[in-house]
């Protein structure tokens, strides 16, 4: 059952203090994990975005389900940008992240705040409000991507 | 905002019928998506597993948070094993999946049933029950991995 390791990685993923634990995830595992969470988040946000742009029929259940996924995923990547995780696998994370960590975390916090509003709004089924909250969230995503996500993978 | 595409992919991810929609995700996007969901699931399950094995102190909040992530992720990968997604990017998915789809889906369903029990149990904070449900879920994961997950990536 070694396949379920790395064990300790899981603790970081949800913000549990791991100082007392011996085994930290490897940089390539952290890179893969944050990419995974952001990929899952991006697909569900894609549905919300398509609905907000009229490219897909508005579906309140789909909106609520998608926003719940986005909300859960929005919490996960940030602890995987720790020291030493700036390289180790192909990544689009700009190295500026590690020299501007406070600014980066601030943008991540702002995105999460918008996502919380979006997820709350999505439960209401109010189409106009959901579309507006999707736009606000998209802006928060874009603000961080513009500053900290490279267009191409680097090593 | 094209970065939030593929839009349609999101609909598949949560089981929304997409027949009326023009753009399907590419095989490599499906492969990456299912890997992402399973990776996020695996990390949170790793925490539950470590606690169940006494390799990490039992923490009821961590258990409940982890199980909630595992439950949400457990629903997402299966629609991304559609026709034509057996190749297109490095994958550990055995090609048997596509010739034994009913058996594969059956195992996926069984895993999801165990995960639902685990997530429900995890809310109780009952250490022994959570550890037992973690074991049952681990067996369901392993049963599918043994049959359908290769040890190495293939193209």
Q: How does pLDDT run across B55-111, given as a tens digit for each residue?
A: 999 999 999 999 999 999 999 999 999 999 999 999 999 999 999 999 999 999 999
pLDDT of residue A46: 96
pLDDT of residue B99: 98
pLDDT of residue A148: 98
Residue ranges of chain A with pLDDT lower than 70? 1-22
Selection from B124, B76, B43 nearest residue A80 by Cα? B43
**Is the pLDDT higher at B1 or at B54?**
B54
Query: Above pLDDT 70, what percent of chain A?
Result: 85
pLDDT digits (tens, 9 = 90+) for B21-47: 437 899 999 999 999 999 999 999 999
pLDDT digits (tens, 9 = 90+) for B123-142: 999 999 999 999 999 999 99
- Identify the contact set of chain A against chain B, taking CB-CB distances under 8 A: 1, 3-11, 13-14, 16, 21, 32-33, 35-37, 39-40, 42-50, 55-56, 59, 62, 65-66, 68-69, 72-73, 76, 138, 141-142, 145
DSSP string, B83-132: TT-SSSS-EEE-THHHHSHHHHHHHHHHHHHHHHHHHHHHHHT-HHHHHH
Cα B40 to Cα A98: distance, rounded to the nearest angstrom: 23
State chain B's maximal CA–CA distance in angstroms: 50
ipTM of this complex > 0.95? no
pLDDT of residue A1: 38
Judged by CB atoms closer than 8 Å, whether chains meet at A35 and B36 is answered as yes
């Amino acid at each position: 059952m070694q396949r379920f390791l790395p064990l300790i990685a899981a603790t970081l993923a949800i913000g549990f203090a791991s100082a007392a634990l011996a085994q930290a995830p490897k940089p390539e595992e952290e890179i893969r994990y944050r990419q995974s969470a952001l990929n899952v988040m991006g697909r569900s946000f894609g549905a919300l975005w398509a609905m907000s742009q009229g490219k897909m029929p508005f579906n309140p259940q789909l909106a609520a389900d998608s926003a719940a996924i986005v909300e859960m995923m929005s919490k996960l990547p940030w602890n995987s940008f720790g020291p030493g995780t700036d390289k180790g696998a192909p990544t689009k994370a700009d190295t500026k992240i590690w020299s501007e960590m406070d600014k980066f975390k601030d943008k991540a916090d702002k995105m999460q705040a918008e996502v919380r509003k979006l997820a709350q709004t999505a439960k209401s089924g109010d189409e106009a409000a959901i579309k507006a909250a999707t736009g606000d969230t998209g802006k928060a995503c874009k603000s961080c991507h513009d500053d900290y996500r490279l267009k191409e993978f680097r090593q």
